[in-house]
Structure 1
Amino acid sequence: MTDTLAEPQADSGSQTDPGTDGRHDFDFAFGRWRNKLRKLVDTTDPECTEWVEFEVVGEMRPILGGLGNFDTFVPVGLPEEDRFEGATLRLFDPATRLWRIWWMSSRHPGGIDVPVEGRFENGRGQFFCEEEIGGRPAIVRYEWFDLAPGSTRFEQAFSFDGGETWAVNWITTGTREDDASADVA
């Protein structure tokens, strides 16, 4: 990875506390959500400027005793030819205090994206990977921020110049549809 993507290092001077080591970073998102999604029509084309907007119903649940979570992603109101489903698998590594996040979609059957990797710091989650996008090397960034009770914001961006500039191509703002605290153990 480039210097821009220097991986966060675990704090070797402190003990790993399951309550504060990062494994609960995504607990805010457990439950059912209605999301407004805005994305570039062609996220693989750095020249694309046409956006599409639609709503998504999603649900996230913890797995593996809290060391991971899984969510589903179903757009609503799209024309039949544009419909798809997506899912995200997130796994936490207590030794490095890093999350790995994999995205998969019915638009790419049998495939799973290269995982982004990172953590939350000061209320902002940043996760990166290097991947080939539209036949070009790129850095992928996922960001979670503006987190508040009952709402979230997520953005995906690509950099085709080693992290010098970023082009946001996917924005999701979410509103909770349920009280997840009753469902999460």
Structure 2
Amino acid sequence: MSTAHDFDFFHGEWDVHHRRHTDFLDADSDWEEFAATNRGWSLFDGAGNIDEMDVACQGWKGLTLRLFDPATEEWSLNWSTNRTGKLFPPVIGRFAPDGRGEFYGDDTHDGKDVRVRFVWSGISDSTARWEQAFSVDGERTWVTNWVMDFTRRASVS
């Protein structure tokens, strides 16, 4: 059962290691890797949160606004970047009892309709993993095209 506090683990500051395909629809395309920093905080007493990612090495920033719907016990995850200034279509889903979160939505990429899947896994006090995958064949196959590994930044005493 998902709750309004599922993303509480994500509050604070993180170092992020990105690994993504150069072509999001081609599983055989090259991978590029880069670093970022991330800061997340709570809204609506936990039923919402936001995080901002700074990808200084590539000159862009992004953010995700997450909102919990108590009626459906689902989260909507809404991504934006300073390159567009617009919210992408949300992905919607929940966490399973094992702690893995799966979120699905519809979007377009390079003019093609895609089904989008976000997965949150490996969540601990100091680590988390996010993965994005696209399907162009009705979810029969998926191309995992972007992985972010988060490591909590050490607090300064």
TM-score scaled to structure 1, two decimals? 0.78
Matched, 1:27 2:8: yes
Q: Look up the match of 2:46.
A: 66
Q: How many residues align?
A: 154
User: Aligned with 1:137: secondary structure?
Assistant: strand
Structure 1 contact 71–87 (Cα < 8 Å) conserved:
yes
Q: Look up the match of 1:177.
A: 153
User: Aligned with 2:138: secondary structure?
Assistant: coil
Structure 2 contact 94–102 (Cα < 8 Å) conserved:
yes
Aligned equivalents of 1:177, 1:133: Cα separation in 2: 33
Structure 2 contact 91–117 (Cα < 8 Å) conserved:
yes
TM-score scaled to structure 2, two decimals? 0.92
Aligned equivalents of 2:2, 2:116: Cα separation in 1: 24
**RMSD, aligned α-carbons:** 1.5
Q: 1:144 to 1:21 in 2, by over 3 A?
A: closer
> Which consecutive residues of structure 1, in runs of 5 or more, have no partner in the other structure?
1-19, 180-185
Q: Look up the match of 1:124.
A: 100
Structure 1 segments of 4+ aligned residues over 4 angstroms from their partners: none
Computing the radius of gyration over CA atoms, which structure comes out larger, 1 or 2? 1
User: Aligned with 1:127: secondary structure?
Assistant: strand
Amino acid at match of 2:17: K
Compare the two structures and name the one with the higher strand fraction: 2
Aligned equivalents of 1:96, 1:169: Cα separation in 2: 29
Aligned equivalents of 2:26, 2:106: Cα separation in 1: 16
Q: Look up the match of 2:20.
A: 39
**Mapping of residues 1-185 of structure 1, within 5 Å:** 21-43=2-24, 45-46=25-26, 49-76=29-56, 78=57, 82-108=58-84, 110-121=85-96, 122-178=98-154
CA deviation profile, 1:137-160 (whole Å, cap 9, x unmatched) = 110000001112200011000001
Q: Look up the match of 1:4.
A: none
User: What is the percent sequence identity of the aligned residues?
Assistant: 37
Structure 1 contact 31–178 (Cα < 8 Å) conserved:
no
Aligned equivalents of 1:47, 1:38: Cα separation in 2: 13
